[in-house]
């Protein structure tokens, strides 16, 4: 049902591990088990997984300490404490540290399976929501890139209009753009900056687009009419 998910079982009793793995093998794709809580600590910090089952009383590092470690490095991972200690104070302490649920030993296989499936369904939905969020973020970035490209294409088109109006001025604008890019590169500006200035610099003469042809293309000198 959750073949892409990974479970971790930490218990210093081999029999308990065997029982939990027997149920879990029909639910998740991979189960990693540890009798040594120190070894489990390294795995829980470095590796990826989707649910953890912890005993409370273990030598070296107990279940409460492991909960703290998991919550520090993997705050969204569901944690089930599987313990023979049905003690109110222990439960409260575990809840404060961030445990998701409790199961009391000896394990009831049917209850165990139902609870695990319910928790993994929530985990699955959480992963899906995160993936959608990442997809939305990617789509927004793509739209920004496309918008920037359209803006630069617009600048390029405006520059080409200048070339059509006045070939001499047009060639000058092209040279200005290239010179600006080369200077920006020499100044160790980013490639993005070089690209933008290549298309923006020629617009310093954009006002000529609005000048009437009788003036812009007139042969000879331009003279102002005397004001009388």
The string of pLDDT tens digits covering residues 109-118 is 888 889 889 9
Quote the percentage of the chain above a pLDDT of 90: 28
The string of pLDDT tens digits covering residues 145-204 is 677 677 767 766 666 665 555 555 556 767 888 888 899 999 998 888 888 888 777 776
The string of pLDDT tens digits covering residues 49-90 is 999 999 988 888 999 999 999 999 999 899 999 888 878 888
CATH class label, 2-107: alpha beta
Sheet of 51-54: strand order equals 28-34, 2-10, 51-54, 79-83, 101-104
Query: Where in the chain are the domains?
Result: 2-107, 137-213
pTM score over 0.85:
no
Residue 49, pLDDT score: 92
Distance CA 176, CA 199 (A): 10
The alpha helices in the chain, defined as continuous H runs, are: 14-24, 37-46, 63-73, 88-97, 109-165, 167-186, 191-200, 213-216
Residue 9, pLDDT score: 95
pLDDT band at 99 (very low <50, low <70, confident <90, very high): very high
Whether the CB-CB separation of 27 and 116 falls below 8 Å is answered with yes
202 in helix, strand or coil?
Answer: helix
């Amino acid at each position: 049902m959750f073949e892409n998910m990974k479970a971790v079982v930490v218990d210093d009793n081999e029999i308990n591990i065997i029982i939990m793995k027997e149920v879990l093998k029909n639910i998740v794709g991979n189960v990693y088990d540890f009798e040594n809580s120190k070894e489990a600590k390294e795995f829980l910090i470095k590796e990826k997984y989707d649910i953890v089952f912890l005993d409370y009383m273990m030598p070296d590092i107990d279940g409460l300490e492991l909960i703290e470690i998991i919550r520090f490095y993997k705050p969204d991972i569901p944690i089930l404490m599987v313990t023979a200690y049905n003690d109110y104070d222990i439960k409260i302490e575990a809840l404060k540290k961030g445990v998701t649920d409790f199961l009391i030993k000896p394990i009831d296989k049917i209850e165990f399976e139902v609870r695990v499936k319910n928790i993994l369904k929530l985990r699955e939905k959480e992963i899906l929501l995160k993936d959608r969020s990442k997809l939305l973020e990617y789509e927004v970035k793509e739209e920004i890139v496309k918008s920037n490209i359209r803006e630069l294409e617009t600048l390029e088109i405006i520059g080409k209009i200048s070339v059509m109006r006045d070939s001499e001025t047009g060639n000058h604008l092209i040279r200005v753009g290239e010179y600006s890019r080369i200077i920006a590169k020499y100044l160790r500006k980013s490639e993005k900056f070089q690209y933008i200035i290549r298309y923006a610099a020629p617009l310093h003469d954009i006002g000529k687009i609005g000048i009437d042809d009788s003036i812009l293309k007139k042969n000879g000198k331009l003279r102002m009419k005397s004001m009388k």
